[in-house]
């Protein structure tokens, strides 16, 4: 099989395997980052999901243990009050402090970031991701970062040499990688470092409002140890410190961070560490083609997606080439849900080698949680049933599906089938119902419709092809083009020009119900005359 078309997670995993120093036997570490100034959203989900695909691919190639660290930047200072939180006025007086020192505006956790961190873990747990959570604040205060911090201070000139040329000339003056948490007012965005004392792991600082002049300082000035959480380092240096301390082997990041990753890689080398490998991914686009940034979270939320389809269909969406920008909007849900179901049913007939090329291989951490799908039912079929029967009771729709294929009621199909039905009903209600117009057929089609009704009346088999050919026969008998008759049926029954294969659709609907609906169309056509 050609190397160029192999699944991208497998390609990434092979590159990772090649990049690992020989002879290691400790865990291979993957990392994803989370900014806890907001709730986790689809960008967070996408990063963890795609990293998990690669981890799964890696585990198919190597016996080395693996670990995925979900790292929360909860020692970052908060610059402005986020718009989407309650009690913003209570947060305002704490601007400039680390997120972990700001009271929780939701009033449920011990700090702003503790609230968001809990939400992150709840979110990741609900999808069954395997990960270890790390809090930046904990890493700094517990001393986990001490060795790296001391090393950074000893090599601070090297850090400056790397970072300063990347800054605008007017920003270089007085810039320091270290951000001291002022012991007097608790802010870390309001301090400036004025001297370095590597011999005693200290810096001199002043709480003078910091750089940029948007913050006000309390005026405190002192020498202070940079260890044990008294100080942190700024973003690109922070990223390098994490890679260095945890020995991160793989991390992917958005296209907007390519330059940051380059700078952080140089810093980790300065520390005598090795930068991780990883790919950068394109951003998602909203319905108008604007980029959805990780922090804004426009587009569609994971929860909303789950309302309309099994969440694994979102994995099918995310599996598409991460290097291509993709529109992330409601209208992609049906397509990816059908893709996902197709992958599940392909799986049933594939040998182990081919299964490795089935995208769904990468979705499930353990095969035990893989849903099985051996029935000839997809999201389009279910949605069309929902439309045609005008039913919003999931049990009724499930009954229909069960009559169409009795395996739907099996233990291993039932759960996924229910989620498809509930999702279809919600999707139709929220996006389709209002704009749909069922079209009353033209009177010239009445004889053909009656012909079909009559044929269905005498039909008792279960071969969709026989029903399919009834339409051709009826069209021929009435001197109509078959495709015009199909279109008339679809427009009348589901308000679309095209639909699922008609024979299967009639079987799913039930022959009697279908005959009665088509007879109804013929009656409407005649009534529209008078």
The H or E element spanning position 179 is strand 178-180
Q: Which SS3 state, helix, strand or coil, does residue 202 take?
A: strand
- Quote the DSSP letter at residue 98: B
Q: Is the CB of 234 or the CB of 503 nearer to Zn ion?
A: 234
Dihedral-angle region of residue 173 (phi above 0 means left; psi in -120 to 50 means alpha; beta otherwise): beta
Binding mask 49-88 for Zn ion (x = CB under 5 A): ----------------------------------------
91 lies in the site for Zn ion, by CB under 5 A: no
221 lies in the site for Zn ion, by CB under 5 A: no
Q: Is the CB of 86 or the CB of 183 nearer to Zn ion?
A: 183
State the minimum distance, in angstroms, from the CB of residue 170 to Zn ion: 25
Q: Which SS3 state, helix, strand or coil, does residue 453 take?
A: helix
Residues 6+ apart with CB under 8 A from 71: 31, 32, 33, 34, 134, 136, 242
The residue with tokens 């270089």 is 172
Residues 6+ apart with CB under 8 A from 361: 7, 56, 60, 347, 355
In the structure encoding, which two tokens stand for residue 48, read together? 């963890």
Only segment of 47-55, 211-219, 369-377, 416-424 that touches Zn ion (CB under 5 A): 211-219
Only segment of 92-100, 215-223, 348-356, 358-366 that touches Zn ion (CB under 5 A): 215-223
State the minimum distance, in angstroms, from the CB of residue 188 to Zn ion: 9
Only segment of 137-145, 212-220, 302-310, 368-376 that touches Zn ion (CB under 5 A): 212-220
Q: Is the CB of 216 or the CB of 469 nearer to Zn ion?
A: 216
Q: Is the CB of 220 or the CB of 414 nearer to Zn ion?
A: 220
Only segment of 192-200, 220-228, 232-240, 413-421 that touches Zn ion (CB under 5 A): 220-228
State the minimum distance, in angstroms, from the CB of residue 63 to Zn ion: 52
State the minimum distance, in angstroms, from the CB of residue 215 to Zn ion: 10
State the minimum distance, in angstroms, from the CB of residue 96 to Zn ion: 9
Q: Is the CB of 221 or the CB of 311 nearer to Zn ion?
A: 221
Q: Is the CB of 182 or the CB of 292 nearer to Zn ion?
A: 182
**Distance, CA of 251 to CA of 240 (rounded, Å):** 12
182 lies in the site for Zn ion, by CB under 5 A: yes
Q: Over the range 63-81, which residues count as b (16 or more CB within 10 Å of their CB) and which as e?
A: eeebbbbbbbbbbbbbeeb
Decide: 270 and 162 in contact? Cβ < 8 Å: yes
Decide: 377 and 509 in contact? Cβ < 8 Å: no
User: Where are the extended beta strands (E) located within 260-322?
Assistant: 280-281, 284-285, 291-292
Residues in a beta bridge with 284: 292, 326
Residues 400-419 contacting Zn ion, CB under 5 A: none
* Angle subtended at Cα 263 by Cα 232 and Cα 266, rounded to the nearest 5 degrees: 95
State the minimum distance, in angstroms, from the CB of residue 184 to Zn ion: 5
**Distance, CA of 268 to CA of 274 (rounded, Å):** 6
State the minimum distance, in angstroms, from the CB of residue 186 to Zn ion: 7
220 lies in the site for Zn ion, by CB under 5 A: yes
User: Among residues 406, 336, 347, which one has the least CA distance to residue 377?
Assistant: 406
14 lies in the site for Zn ion, by CB under 5 A: no
Only segment of 167-175, 207-215, 408-416, 437-445 that touches Zn ion (CB under 5 A): 207-215
The H or E element spanning position 232 is strand 231-233
Number of residues engaging Zn ion in binding (CB under 5 A):
6
Inter-axis angle of helices 482-493 and 464-477, nearest 10: 110
Query: Using CB under 5 A, which of 218, 222, 283, 389 touches Zn ion?
Result: 218
Only segment of 176-184, 290-298, 445-453, 472-480 that touches Zn ion (CB under 5 A): 176-184
Total number of residues shown for the chain:
530
**Distance, CA of 319 to CA of 120 (rounded, Å):** 22
Binding mask 257-296 for Zn ion (x = CB under 5 A): ----------------------------------------
Please give the span between the terminal C-alpha atoms of the chain, in angstroms, as a whole number.
65
State the minimum distance, in angstroms, from the CB of residue 273 to Zn ion: 33
State the minimum distance, in angstroms, from the CB of residue 197 to Zn ion: 20
Only segment of 179-187, 408-416, 486-494, 507-515 that touches Zn ion (CB under 5 A): 179-187
Binding mask 416-455 for Zn ion (x = CB under 5 A): ----------------------------------------
State the minimum distance, in angstroms, from the CB of residue 218 to Zn ion: 3
CB atoms within 10 A of CB 173: 9
Query: Using CB under 5 A, which of 91, 153, 207, 507 touches Zn ion?
Result: 207
Residues 453-472 contacting Zn ion, CB under 5 A: none
Query: Using CB under 5 A, which of 171, 184, 295, 350 touches Zn ion?
Result: 184
Q: Is the CB of 109 or the CB of 218 nearer to Zn ion?
A: 218
Query: Using CB under 5 A, which of 20, 39, 185, 277 touches Zn ion?
Result: 185
Decide: 318 and 50 in contact? Cβ < 8 Å: yes
**Distance, CA of 210 to CA of 194 (rounded, Å):** 11
Q: Is the CB of 33 or the CB of 217 nearer to Zn ion?
A: 217
Strand order through the sheet with 291-292 = 291-292, 284-285, 326-327
Residues 466-525 contacting Zn ion, CB under 5 A: none
> What residues make contact with Zn ion under the rule CB under 5 A?
182, 184-185, 207, 218, 220
């Amino acid at each position: 099989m050609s190397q160029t078309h192999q699944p991208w997670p497998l390609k990434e995993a092979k590159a990772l395997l090649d990049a690992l120093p020989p002879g290691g036997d400790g865990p291979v570490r993957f990392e994803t980052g989370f900014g806890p100034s907001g709730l986790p959203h689809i960008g967070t989900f996408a990063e963890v999901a795609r990293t998990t695909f690669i981890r799964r691919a890696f585990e198919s190639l190597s016996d080395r243990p693996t670990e995925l660290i979900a790292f929360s930047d909860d020692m970052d200072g908060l610059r402005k009050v986020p718009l989407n939180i309650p009690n913003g006025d209570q947060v305002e007086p704490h601007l400039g402090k680390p997120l972990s020192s700001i009271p929780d505006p939701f009033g449920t956790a011990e700090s702003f970031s503790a609230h968001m961190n809990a939400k992150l873990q709840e979110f990741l747990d609900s999808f069954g991701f395997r990960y270890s959570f790390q809090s930046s604040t904990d890493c700094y205060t517990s001393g986990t970062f001490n060795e790296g911090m001391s090393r950074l201070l000893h090599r601070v000139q090297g850090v400056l040499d790397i970072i300063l040329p990347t800054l605008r000339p007017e920003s270089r003056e007085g810039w320091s990688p270290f951000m001291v948490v002022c012991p007097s007012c608790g802010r870390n965005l309001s301090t400036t470092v004025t001297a370095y004392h590597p011999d005693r792991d200290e810096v001199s600082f002043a709480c003078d409002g910091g750089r940029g002049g948007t913050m006000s300082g309390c005026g405190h000035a002192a020498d202070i140890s940079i260890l044990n959480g008294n100080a942190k380092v700024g973003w690109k240096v922070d990223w390098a410190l994490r890679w260095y301390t945890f020995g991160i082997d793989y991390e992917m990041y958005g296209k907007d961070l390519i330059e940051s990753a380059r700078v952080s890689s140089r810093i980790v080398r300065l520390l005598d560490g090795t930068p991780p490998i990883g790919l950068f991914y394109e951003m998602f686009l909203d319905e108008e083609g604007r980029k959805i940034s990780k922090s804004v979270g426009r587009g569609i939320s994971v929860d909303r997606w789950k309302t309309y389809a099994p969440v694994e269909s979102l994995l099918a969406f995310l599996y598409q080439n991460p290097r291509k920008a993709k529109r992330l909007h409601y209208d992609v849900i049906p397509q990816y849900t059908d893709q996902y179901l197709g992958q599940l049913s392909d799986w049933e007939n594939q040998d182990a080698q081919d299964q490795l090329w089935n995208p769904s291989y990468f979705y499930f951490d353990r095969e035990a949680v893989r849903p099985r799908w051996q029935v000839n039912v997809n999201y389009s079929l279910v949605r069309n049933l929902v439309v045609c029967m005008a039913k919003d009771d999931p049990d009724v729709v499930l009954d229909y599906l069960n009559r169409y294929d009795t395996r739907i009621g099996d233990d291993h199909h039932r759960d996924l089938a229910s989620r498809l039905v509930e999702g279809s009903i919600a999707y139709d209600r929220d996006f389709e119902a209002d704009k749909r117009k069922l079209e009353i057929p033209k009177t010239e089609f009445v004889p053909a419709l009656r012909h079909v009704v009559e044929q269905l009346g005498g039909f008792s088999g279960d071969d969709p092809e026989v029903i399919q050919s009834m339409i051709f026969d009826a069209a021929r008998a009435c001197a109509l083009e078959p495709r015009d008759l199909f279109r008339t049926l679809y427009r009348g029954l589901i308000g679309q020009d095209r639909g699922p294969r008609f024979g299967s659709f009639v079987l799913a609907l039930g022959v009697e119900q279908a005959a009665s609906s088509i007879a109804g169309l013929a009656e409407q056509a005649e009534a529209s005359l008078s």
